[in-house]
Structure 1
Amino acid sequence: MLAFERLTMNRLLRISILGLTTALLNCGIPATACDDTLVMLLTAQNPGSEFSRVIRSFNSDLTVLGVSLKAMEKSNYDAEMSKVMESWLEFSKKYLTSPPDEARNDLRWAEKTSETARSIGEIRRLINDKQFKEAHDRVLELNSRMGSFFEAFGVSDEKQLFISTSTNLTSLERALLNDERANAASMVKELANNLGSFTALLENNTDNRKSDAEKLLAELATDIENSTSLKSLDARQQQLKIIFEELRSQILLREWFPGLKN
């Protein structure tokens, strides 16, 4: 019975992941690394565990804070920061020094949680000082490290690819927002490599948007070299995120429902 319940829960989570991905794409909500759907995927082996619940909650609150800071539409972000603090407190009470069973062999666990705690403290200080641009950059930096909590989980090569791509997309966003053109150009090259790995997994799929992604990467490379405006660069980068989300969803559909065409 327990095995059946776990199987049912895994199926429900898979449907939730695909449903959330579709909703994000249709609504145009920006994805961030480690984005919410990716964290749901990484916790899919044991979705009902306490660790899965608290890390999804923390990542979701961090995402909301990052999106709000980037929009720069408010004079303070105390409410969003408080939610991050609350969810991190819940996480740290259980896992600050002792990892969950899935990561019991992670020798760097305490180091990772300590780094996260320091980052949250720095983000809070920057928000209190009204340094919102800097706070957003630190949120992106922390987002890019969230995948490290799953390093000892024995994730598949595909999921490692998803983590790497999510991290590179966030690193590209940070580089663009900070006008670090050389770093941005380097990230475009890394993402081109990621795209090659994605499309290899979809080699028989005739509708995988590979050409759209290649076009965007080429345009980004040219725009970075020509010092195009940040607004234009950011728009292309957000479009690229959406395409990678779609590619990831197609890979998951083929894995979970192998009988589907395209």
Structure 2
Amino acid sequence: MNRTFKMAVTGFAVLQLCTAAPLIACDDTLVMLLTAQNPGSEFSRIIRSFNSDLTALGLALKAMEKVSYDQEMAKVMDSWLEFTKKYMTNPPEEARNDLRWAEKTSATARGIGEIRRLINEKKFTEAHDRVLELNSKMGAFFEAFGVSDEKQLFISVSTNLTNLERALLGDDKEASANLVKELTKNLESFTPLLGDNPDNRKEDVRKLLIELAADIELNSSLKALDAKQQQLKTIFEELRSQILMREWFPGLKN
């Protein structure tokens, strides 16, 4: 099995996860995509595990259906401990030239400590916000990996969507409006990558962004705003999948 075929198989697996799984898996799928050059490496496995556990904690906190989140927090702590044993001060080979690696891992450790403190104090809303903040910074670990412009765009969209969720939940109208503008710019950057496929949902995203901007201005309910933000996540992930399908399988019709 040659390297090109292996990459194609890995890519197809990523696409299947992103289009068939719930939102939690799609965040994980972006991390999987960023480590796709060496998906079986120890670093790939460990950082995917940490990201998955962090996302699961965030979803649990947002749902507010429990009186304790110790189990989810413990999983985050365990996966982070595994990460730090190998990479706290020594980056993986792909990031060996990252001069800010130790700074990034230290900041992540402080963030996890803050989340744990807030959970212990039963400040679950604040803890959820900190989880989103930390999740939005995961792309920083890949800055020295030689990430392509296309993948940088995917990271930007993911970060903007997460920050939009934070702004909406925090009732920050100005930040929310600005992030909608940033996502509109992101959408325009997607356009040349999507080709002339008439079935892509670019116009659905554009419509949602216009509606969301209006809803923010009108101070619509958080439930309505959050629902639109989640729709945006889903459709942006579909567009990302279409772009990757065109790249990895150029002979296929969309």
Moved over 6 A (4+): none
Deviation at 1:8, TM superposition (A): 5.4
The farther-off stretch of 193-202 and 232-241 is 193-202
Q: Which residue of 2 aligns with 1:197?
A: 189
Q: What's the TM-score once normalised by structure 2's chain length?
A: 0.97
Q: Does 2:85 correspond to 1:93?
A: yes
Unaligned runs of 5+ in 2: none
Alignment-mate amino acid for residue 229 of structure 1 = S
> 2:36 is paired with a residue of what secondary structure?
coil
Alignment-mate amino acid for residue 10 of structure 1 = M
Unaligned runs of 5+ in 1: none
> 1:35 is paired with a residue of what secondary structure?
helix
Q: Aligned equivalents of 1:161 and 1:12: distance in 2?
A: 23
> 2:90 is paired with a residue of what secondary structure?
coil
Q: Which residue of 2 aligns with 1:105?
A: 97
Q: Deviations over 1:107-142 (max 9, x none)?
A: 100000000000000000111111110000000000
Q: Which residue of 2 aligns with 1:30?
A: 23
Deviation at 1:6, TM superposition (A): 5.1
Deviation at 1:7, TM superposition (A): 4.9
Cα distance change, pair 86–6 in 1 and its aligned pair in 2 (3 A): farther
Cα distance change, pair 239–5 in 1 and its aligned pair in 2 (3 A): same
Q: State the superposition RMSD in angstroms.
A: 1.4
Contact 2:95 2:144 (C-alpha < 8 Å) held by counterparts: yes
1:4-43 aligned within 5 A: 4=1, 7=4, 9-24=6-21, 29-31=22-24, 35-43=27-35
Q: Which residue of 1 aligns with 2:53?
A: 61
Contact 1:30 1:67 (C-alpha < 8 Å) held by counterparts: no
Q: What's the TM-score once normalised by structure 1's chain length?
A: 0.94
The farther-off stretch of 114-123 and 201-210 is 201-210
User: Number of residue pairs matched?
Assistant: 254
Deviation at 1:183, TM superposition (A): 0.1
> 1:201 is paired with a residue of what secondary structure?
helix
Q: Deviations over 1:199-258 (max 9, x none)?
A: 221131111111100000000000000000000000000000000000000000000000
> 1:152 is paired with a residue of what secondary structure?
coil
Q: Aligned equivalents of 1:142 and 1:173: distance in 2?
A: 13
Alignment-mate amino acid for residue 167 of structure 1 = T
Q: Aligned equivalents of 1:80 and 1:5: distance in 2?
A: 40
1:177-188 aligned within 5 A: 177-188=169-180
Q: Aligned equivalents of 1:92 and 1:15: distance in 2?
A: 31
Q: Provide the identity percentage.
A: 73
Q: Aligned equivalents of 1:168 and 1:154: distance in 2?
A: 21
Q: Does 2:169 correspond to 1:172?
A: no
Deviation at 1:35, TM superposition (A): 1.2
